[in-house]
Amino acid sequence: MTYRETFRMNQRDFDEENQEKINDVREHFRNEYPYVDLGMLPDDTINAFLNQDYIASLWFEKQMDCLYDYILSQDLCGVEE
């Protein structure tokens, strides 16, 4: 197997893991914060926030609390009352 083939396989695995993580985030928000609409928030924004060292080291629920605070403080998506 060439380096390029190995890189592509690793990239595909990485992309699948990231997409699974994003799906988990969106599902968590649907269940825990149904009044926050993540529909227009790009996956890249979520991913960039969660991949910061001090966020990535936290457990999932705490990451979600931090993401929630970040989204609301930056007015990144709609909130239904």
Per-residue pLDDT tens digits for 25-50: 999 999 999 999 998 899 999 999 99
Average pLDDT rounded to a whole number, residues 60-77: 95
Supply the pLDDT for residue 17.
80
**Residue 28: per-residue pLDDT:** 96
Annotate 50-68 with DSSP letters as a single string: HTSHHHHTS-HHHHHHHHH
Average pLDDT, stretch 12-33? 86
Question: Average pLDDT in the 39-62 region?
Answer: 93
